[in-house]
Structure 1
Amino acid sequence: MKVISVVGYKKSGKTVLVSALVRNLSRFGAVGTVKHMEEQRLNSEETDTGKHFDAGADTVIGITGTELVSFSRDSDLEHALDLLCDQGLDFAVVEGFKESNLPKIVLGDLEGISNVFFRMPENVDMHEELTASLVGMALAQPDRYTLEALVKKVRKNHKIQKAGAIGTFTGIVREMADNEITARLEFEKYEPEASKALDRIREEIKRKEGILEVLIHHKTGVIEAGEDIVYIVIAAAHRTELFPALSEAIERIKAEAPIWKKEFTEKEEFWVHDKEKDRKQA
């Protein structure tokens, strides 16, 4: 799922721009949006769903004849994006959240914004040429994946009718190792070689007997203890072909893909490949 954010001052034309992006991106796939609503309460305490929520329900879903609305106590942007990604959407357009690390279109002279890929005047006329240019920039953004999104993608493969099993592997940041606490890890890909290596591993495993589809996604940047690092999803005709393929995939990723790992513990921080090199030379 490709994600972009639109930020600017109030009445700068953010909603008009988001609407234009949604209309045009929907030609290329399914689109979801996230809107920063400040401190407004949408689920009033006077409604039945509001009473359920105030009674202590963690999630409340209201269903009408034309809509399904979900209210949750988890109001984090990352959680909202993961929910959209889990649905198998192709794009997410976020209105607001200027403090996020998302790639951004900035309206007006708003300053102190990170990861800006386009800046434009407030309330500009969204003519066809400008809209097409912005859509092109959105299509060029990196993909965000969740495990559920990858499983959905595998299920859409036309070969899935031959599958008897779908298996997944999720690598997470281990917090406790040898009585030492790891707070977080940082991953850095050496591109384009890293992507080429992952593609090669995927294609070679797909050629094995009984393997129908292989998807691999390895995250980069800082990942906190307990959070996900890498996803592997494989569809196979039989379970006897599935489990060896999953094991081979993760071992080959660790051995062949130039992805560097920096570890942050209570005592120190270090690049793991440097430490392993020092041990071999000792």
Structure 2
Amino acid sequence: MQPISIVGPGAADLAGSLADRLDGRVAVVDAAEPEATDGGVGVRDENSEPGTTPDASAHTAIALDGDGSWTGRGRVDGLDDLLDGLAPDHEYLIALGQSRLRVPTVLLGEDLKESAVPGPVIAAADAPAAVDVEALLAEIDAAEPWITRETLVDRMTDGADADRAGAIATFTGRVRARDAPDDDRTTHLAFEKYEGVAAERMDVIAAELTDRAGVFDVRMHHRTGVIEAGEDIVFVTVLAGHRREAFRAVEDGIDRLKDEVPIFKKETTEAAEFWVHRQE
């Protein structure tokens, strides 16, 4: 799923223009006007009547309530969980009124042009009409997609060797708040990739692990940007004939990713901010 965040006055107008132009299923998550659905959630598909959601151009539209959570497929307390739930069924997501998402972001309004946001700023303008929509569409499609563990597993099980596999093993790395009970709490980590080199190295590792006897497919993904305590960082998934081959490949995959892939980590705690050298 390709996500984009639009922040500032007129975000909904720009979202409507984009949703009409994007080729695929589009979800719109609107946190700017939670009263639109009386604190609940509106969801529609292609067969629903227009005008029943915050954005009638979307295939799925969700309005968040005042505390930033939503109801529908169960209550979700984090925006990452929300995006993870939408990713398998949508090609695009447009988030409105959320300034903390680490996804490509459009800033609207004079006051927001220089705002610091976790994700890359791909456009900034005083008003929606000043945004080059064609250029924005190209930026969205070129951006890093929102990948989930379930996305990787689904891709593996759709493969030609899936009917020979008796095991799927996965590893998920997440941001821990503390190493020890008396440590300062980690609020977030920030990851930067050596562009191109990191992806190429992960592809090599996955291919070498897939060459092992009994291993049919290996996929991995490391998120970048600001990731908060409790949120997911990295996934390694393995499709194999038996559990032993699957477990070994998962363990070797994450070990090699941490040792060989140029990804740099800055940690922010309640007391300090510092770059973290590879030590795990």
Residue 255 of structure 1, aligned match among 259, 262, 277? 259
Alignment size in residue pairs: 251
Q: For 1:144-164, what per-residue CA distance to the aligned partner results, in whole angstroms no more than 9, with x for missing partners?
A: 222223222323334323322
Q: Which residue of 1 aligns with 2:232?
A: 228
Q: Which residue of 2 aligns with 1:152?
A: 154
Q: For 1:172-223, what per-residue CA distance to the aligned partner results, in whole angstroms no more than 9, with x for missing partners?
A: 2344436652633443333333222212111111222222221111123443
SS in structure 2 opposite 1:97? coil
Q: Which residue of 2 aligns with 1:237?
A: 241
Q: Which residue of 2 aligns with 1:5?
A: 5
Shift of 1:121: 6.4
- CA distance in 2: counterparts of 1:124 and 1:62, whole angstroms: 28
Q: 1:5 to 1:173 in 2, by over 3 A?
A: closer
Q: Which residue of 1 aligns with 2:106?
A: 105
Q: Which residue of 1 aligns with 2:21?
A: 24
Q: 1:239 to 1:190 in 2, by over 3 A?
A: same
State the structure with more CA Rg: 1
- Compute the RMSD of aligned alpha carbons: 3.6
TM-score for both structures, normalised by structure 2: 0.72
Report if aligned partners of 1:173, 1:227 keep a CA contact under 8 Å in 2. Answer: yes
Q: Which residue of 1 aligns with 2:223?
A: 219
Q: 1:18 to 1:270 in 2, by over 3 A?
A: closer
Q: 1:41 to 1:131 in 2, by over 3 A?
A: closer
- Residue 208 of structure 1 aligns with an amino acid whose one-letter code is R
Gaps of 5+ in 2: 49-59, 61-70
- CA distance in 1: counterparts of 2:208 and 2:36, whole angstroms: 51
- CA distance in 2: counterparts of 1:99 and 1:61, whole angstroms: 22
Q: For 1:197-251, what per-residue CA distance to the aligned partner results, in whole angstroms no more than 9, with x for missing partners?
A: 2121111112222222211111234434433221111111222321111111011
Shift of 1:168: 0.6
Report if aligned partners of 1:31, 1:91 keep a CA contact under 8 Å in 2. Answer: yes
Matches within 5 A, 1:109-120: 109=110, 111=112, 112-114=114-116, 115-120=120-125
- Residue 122 of structure 2 aligns with an amino acid whose one-letter code is F
Q: For 1:91-115, what per-residue CA distance to the aligned partner results, in whole angstroms no more than 9, with x for missing partners?
A: 2112333565542234554534444
- Residue 154 of structure 1 aligns with an amino acid whose one-letter code is M
Shift of 1:268: 5.8
Shift of 1:139: 0.4
Matched, 1:166 2:168: yes
- CA distance in 1: counterparts of 2:73 and 2:193, whole angstroms: 37
Percent identity of the aligned residues? 35
